[in-house]
Structure 1
């Protein structure tokens, strides 16, 4: 049975005994007893959403040939709610049987890495990769390597915070490379300026692309000649919103949804799932979509875009950098030196997206179709490999 059609192994619904808020854990698959996937928090989160994301994590792991299955958790709570931290703590406490031995989690929408690590420290598990670290031949050495990698300072922030967005930037650059278009004449719009979208915008700006539109919860910022991305990101508050009082006079402020209708070469939905839908796909004027958000485009909307000749680089490739890097870090394939991490992720992402774009430009095969085929091939090969995965 393929990854796409396989039923999840586990669906759990949790009710917070204090607030009545619901949380969900879906384990799509285990490899050697392990699954990986972040924990998100947003008002309106559903178990159906979490199930889609868990399946996406399984595919993501297969595309990058990681020795782990897929899972995801979500809590139906606004992360700005003053009760959010206590709710997250009680959820993780309730999920201890999975977190102790089987489920490796990390940041996701509404839950930054430092916050979930704070929760893990509070419940006595030290770090959110605990289930994998505890299997290490030297758990303290592995824990030190993980901490050093996550907290290594790099341009734009800490390595653990920006690596996923850096991968999205490399996926975008691979699309631009396939077009053979000069980078300085390439325009980009990014919906969302959290750790993923913000880092993607930062590294694309740093590479020389024109990031002409950035959107946060308060609206879209636009400049046709390109925004000063690092300066704008430096004004973000704790919820990832850019300070409007600090905007240059020549930056236009537009409605939040305007970012999706901006005429650009590359549009990066990096905020919410299902951002591009049948209701708004007609407004999209981008040459390509690079999904930084999980399930950023609905299947119906993607079919419309494909018919129009707009390739969609799927989330389970474009935003897989953080998950892949975390496992490279756990396995000792990279360490605390950021240059090694950037080099490995750049090479992996450029190669994979170039492969997808080659099929797209050759005969119009949708990037998602090619990526699914790659995932299934890798999964079949791994299923035949009986060697245990050793974490040094």
Structure 2
């Protein structure tokens, strides 16, 4: 499953700005694939292909009835032209959105923006391709909207925080598997956007000290634990913290210092390829939990494994939002946040326990164990669909 070529690779050129966009569909299951659409300066087709492959693993590892895809646009999301570029990209990709590709937020593209763009091109929501398969699409759409926009404690919407909650549960799963007390488990997080900020919030709620966070302006460090609610309140719309209001006791370090902070868990949650051969020696944590897609290059991961530092792969650690979205589509969870959190906590921690049990017993990397799990799940689903025992039913 991981070595085969993608089914479809599309390169698009914006007729107005000349900027490039890419779609890679790695696999279709029941005629559908899922994966977000990102926007960043320097985005490449090979990056999008890596991410689509990761989505294929993610959906299989959580036994979801859908394949993996990804979209990416080489454009700075702060560019005044960015909204128009995204809308023209979505118009061009509408045949895929109509029938096969369920997309969502990703780096540089928040969910409210992708939904606004879908509305502007005449589609109700970015889950359109799946919703239209329901017997009553309008009823399913209402259920999905209710789940996405249900408020959670703190005032944010469930759809905006569930991915970060899943990453927090991955970290808590590590602590549980290794018998660490939560209040003594220090975590460093690179990135405080939707994923990193959500993870920081829920880890803080669980009593886990966040000893460092990094954004585009640098790293903030307090070995006794940062005031996470305050720092999240100080973020702007790009996930950058207003330094003028950060307490004076907090050390201000360069952005790249986050990898060398003394912590039990390092969570790269901002960009792909954040840990490379160049900085793998700097990692001071006991375990890396990938909240960003493709956060660690293969060579860097091999180096960390040789140093006895396991990497919890992205297709497990950050799968919470994708898994939850499909549970919501399939009617397996509703608009009550407690039900969604309970399901995600159970499923995430069980997988983390499996990965670390193999690591502790044999030093097999968590990625290899996760890939094996995904391949078993996908093979069983393909066999069940071929025999007619499994069909995609969206209520």
Task: Report the TM-score, using the length of structure 1 for normalisation.
Answer: 0.99
Counterpart-to-counterpart distance in 1, 2:185 and 2:226: 13
> Where does residue 388 of structure 1 map in the other structure?
391
Q: Say whether 1:342 aligns with 2:341.
A: yes
| Equivalent residue runs for 1:343-362 within 5 Å | 343-362=342-361
Shift of 1:245: 1.1
Structure 1: 4+ residue segments shifted above 2 A? none
Shift of 1:309: 0.8
| 1:51-98 per-position Cα deviation (integer Å, ceiling 9, x unaligned) | 000000001000000000000000000000011001000000000000
**Which ranges of structure 2 fall in alignment gaps of 5 or more residues?**
none
Shift of 1:155: 3.0
Counterpart-to-counterpart distance in 2, 1:186 and 1:39: 33
| 1:219-264 per-position Cα deviation (integer Å, ceiling 9, x unaligned) | 1111110001011101111111111111111111111111111010
Count how many residue pairs are aligned between Structure 1 and Structure 2: 390
Counterpart-to-counterpart distance in 2, 1:337 and 1:291: 28
Q: Say whether 1:364 aligns with 2:363.
A: yes
Shift of 1:181: 1.2
Shift of 1:305: 0.7
Shift of 1:189: 0.3
Counterpart-to-counterpart distance in 2, 1:149 and 1:104: 17
Task: Report the TM-score, using the length of structure 2 for normalisation.
Answer: 0.98
Among candidates 120, 123, 132, match of residue 122 of structure 1: 120
Counterpart-to-counterpart distance in 2, 1:381 and 1:348: 19
| Equivalent residue runs for 1:1-392 within 5 Å | 3-156=1-154, 157-386=156-385, 387-392=390-395
Q: Report the secondary structure of 2:384's partner residue.
A: coil
Counterpart-to-counterpart distance in 2, 1:20 and 1:4: 32
| 1:89-116 per-position Cα deviation (integer Å, ceiling 9, x unaligned) | 0000000000000000000000000000
* Mean Cα deviation higher: 150-159 or 241-250: 150-159
Counterpart-to-counterpart distance in 1, 2:213 and 2:135: 45
Counterpart-to-counterpart distance in 2, 1:91 and 1:233: 32
Aligned Cα root-mean-square deviation (Å)? 0.7
**Which ranges of structure 1 fall in alignment gaps of 5 or more residues?**
none
Q: Report the secondary structure of 1:236's partner residue.
A: coil
Counterpart-to-counterpart distance in 1, 2:223 and 2:318: 26
Q: Report the secondary structure of 1:384's partner residue.
A: helix
Counterpart-to-counterpart distance in 2, 1:333 and 1:371: 24
| 1:132-168 per-position Cα deviation (integer Å, ceiling 9, x unaligned) | 0010111111101111111111135211011011000
Q: Report the secondary structure of 2:231's partner residue.
A: helix
